[in-house]
Amino acid sequence: MITCYLKYIIDPYKLKEFEHYGKLWIPLVEKFGGQHHCYFLPAEGANNVALALFTFPSLADYEQYRERSFQDEACVAAFKYAEETRCILSYERSFFRPVLNA
């Protein structure tokens, strides 16, 4: 299992647009076999940092999702929405594996 952690730097004046973007992606990740854990929007502290977490069974499954997302009409529309609204200024992506009690 691999969890993707996305840290976004967003335009705080476009929070509604970013929230809409997040709502577009939750079902899309699940469509490709992932489990979306949520988008997290600023509440206290920095007003320009948002997070997202989602899990795939393996890094290979995640990589297949990424490849397929660039060909999927709904995914391409979501990418375009973010570009047009400029709600995301930058982002970083990291991967984590869980520590489970066997």
pLDDT bracket for residue 80 (50, 70, 90): very high
From CA 24, how far away is CA 57, in angstroms rounded?
Answer: 22
User: How far apart are the C-alpha atoms of 49 and 89, rounded to whole Å?
Assistant: 10
Could you report the per-residue pLDDT of 36-79, keeping only the tens digit for each? 999 999 999 999 999 999 999 999 999 999 999 999 999 999 99
35 vs 30: CA distance, rounded Å:
6
Task: Give the pLDDT mean for 75-89.
Answer: 97
Asked if 10 contacts 49 with a C-beta cutoff of 8 angstroms, the reply is yes
| Rounded Cα–Cα distance for residues 85 and 82 (Å) | 5
Contact 18, 78 (CB under 8 A): no
Q: Which CATH number fits domain 2-96: 3.30.70.3340, 3.40.50.620, 3.30.950.10, 3.30.70.100?
A: 3.30.70.100
pTM more than 0.85: yes
Residues 13-33 have pLDDT tens digits of: 999 999 999 999 999 999 999
Q: Domain extents for the chain? A: 2-96
